[in-house]
Structure 1
Amino acid sequence: MGTKGGIDYSAWDHIYVSDDEDVTCPYVDTPSLFRMRHRVSGQTCCSRESRLEKMAEFQQRGEDLEHNLAECKILLKETQERLKKLEEDRQEGEEDEEREAELKKVQAEVKKLRKDEKMFEKMMEEYRREEKKLPWNVDTLSKEGFSKSVLNIKPDTKEETEKEKVEKHKTFVEKYAKEIKHFGMLHRWDDSQKYLSDNPHLVCEETANSLVVICIDYEIDEKHALMEQVAHQAIVMQFILDLARALKVDPRGCFRDFFSKIKTADKQYLDMFDHELELLKERVRSCAQSRMEGAMKELEEEERQKRLGPGGLDPVEVYGSLPKVNHLHKCRSADVASV
């Protein structure tokens, strides 16, 4: 191709250069090209959606297993407490057929729950092994660390009224009731930290208050083990909020500091945590007792209102104010003796 005068470029004279070759080309059937691109794009989109759906289903299965295992452990603890109480009653009192039947029934429940616990633990181990073997998903391989910078500057906010606080709490609880209850059932520090990382909107005063309300409801229903579990998570949230107030930052920005501290805490800090937990449980028991007593008084008052006769008299109160039968008998005996 080279000549004495230089390079011969005639071999490239037939090359066509188009301004639109990214879209169309005179040597390609344009409609066919567009149909092919659309088909490939649709297949790629469907494949991506399928991968994301499978990943979501896998994660949901893991959350369900974790929730079922936590509930099973709590039920087992409650049933073991019932069994212990029944065994103590049998040692103290005489043998009773009904009590023996109840004892056998509770023993069978404990046996079944232990079996279920082992089954769920085995399923969780299989799930974690399967999770480690999962191939990397290109759609979720890289995650956004943060989409904006948050400056921890205290905003100038006006004081909320009591009515506004109640309305805010009610709206928040109605919207996130399921997430709050799930957080209340978590046992491990790492699980709690991960769940709050995925749901940072839960790091607030409303969540702490809602957890305390759930504790009181469980105590009224005599589900003491569930109450103690949720109370633990309520104290976790309260400690996070206290740390945020001490540092004067948004609690969503410092909850990881709390978990880092509690995992490596000394005995003094852990004792303080346990002390606050016991105080909360005592307050919950006291509040539950007060609510039950108040409900009983309201019920008694309703029954009294139904019994009221003419003149607003309560027959039970009137009957109770009458002299005792023994007193009347003595009076009659005295009259007979005097005659």
Structure 2
Amino acid sequence: MVDYSKWKDIEISDDEDDTHPNIDTPSLFRWRHQARVERMAEKEQEVSKLKKEKEEYEAQIKKLKEKMKTSEESTDMTTLKAALNELEKKGENIIKKQKDFEKKEKLEPWNVDTISSDGFSKTIINQPVSRKEDDMSEEEKEKRMKEFVGKHESSIKKYGMFRNFDDSRRFLMVSSRD
């Protein structure tokens, strides 16, 4: 049996939407798109906020651990340990927020903007090929053939002397590498 459950979380089905005749369909799609874009912007802000919190937390932990290394065993150390424990609780809270955000992101339905991404960032167009033999006049073909024979005369004579197929094949394999 085919599992179609992966398709239920896609928010794209424009063709299935039957709108009321009095509602302007392009406007409705435009409003939905704008709402999607706003939700994505809010999500980006939330991601940046979480990253900032995590960076601040890591900087505070690092600073506190350096203080603990430099300070001596005294009453100052107990306050530093208490502050470290408090920061670790804050870190657990940040990790919990990240996991909740990841769960929320997984449950979020796909839409037109998130379902795919560009595979290539540029397009390369082939250069025009040189003139084909069909387009050449008889004189051009003859000139091209004479140039080729003049350039490869020794190889052509050597190839013409072979009687065995294997020898011919071996010669072509070796000469094609040169």
* Runs of 5+ consecutive residues of structure 1 not aligned to the other structure: 1-34, 91-98, 151-339
**Which one of the candidate residues 79, 84, 107 is aligned to 1:105?**
79
1:83 matches 2:57: no
The alpha carbon displacement at 1:142 in A equals: 2.6
1:69 aligns with 2:58: no
Q: Does 1:48 align with 2:22?
A: no
Separation in structure 2 between the aligned mates of residue 74 and residue 46 of structure 1, nearest angstrom = 42
Match of 1:148 in 2: 122
Match of 1:139 among 113, 123, 144: 113
Counterpart of 1:332 in structure 2 is none
Q: Which structure has more helix as a fraction of its residues?
A: 1
Following the alignment from structure 1 to structure 2, what is the Cα–Cα distance between the partners of residues 126 and 56?
18
User: Unmatched 5+ residue regions in structure 2?
Assistant: 1-20, 125-178
Match of 2:91 in 1: 117
The DSSP-based 3-state class of the residue aligned with 1:142 is: coil
TM normalised by structure 1 equals 0.28
Structure 2 CA distance for aligned equivalents of residues 61 and 49 of structure 1:
18
* Deviation at residue 58 of structure 1 after TM alignment: 1.3
Percent of paired sites with the same residue: 27
Aligned length: 104
- Report the TM-score when normalising by structure 2: 0.51
Measured after TM superposition, the shift of residue 41 of structure 1 is 1.6
Superposed CA RMSD: 2.3
Alpha-carbon distance, 1:69 to partner = 1.4
Contact conserved, 1:69 with 1:120, CA < 8 A, in 2? Answer: yes
Retained in 2: the 8 A contact 1:66–1:124?
Answer: no
State the SS of the aligned residue for 1:79.
helix
- C-alpha distance in 2, partners of 1:108/1:138? 49
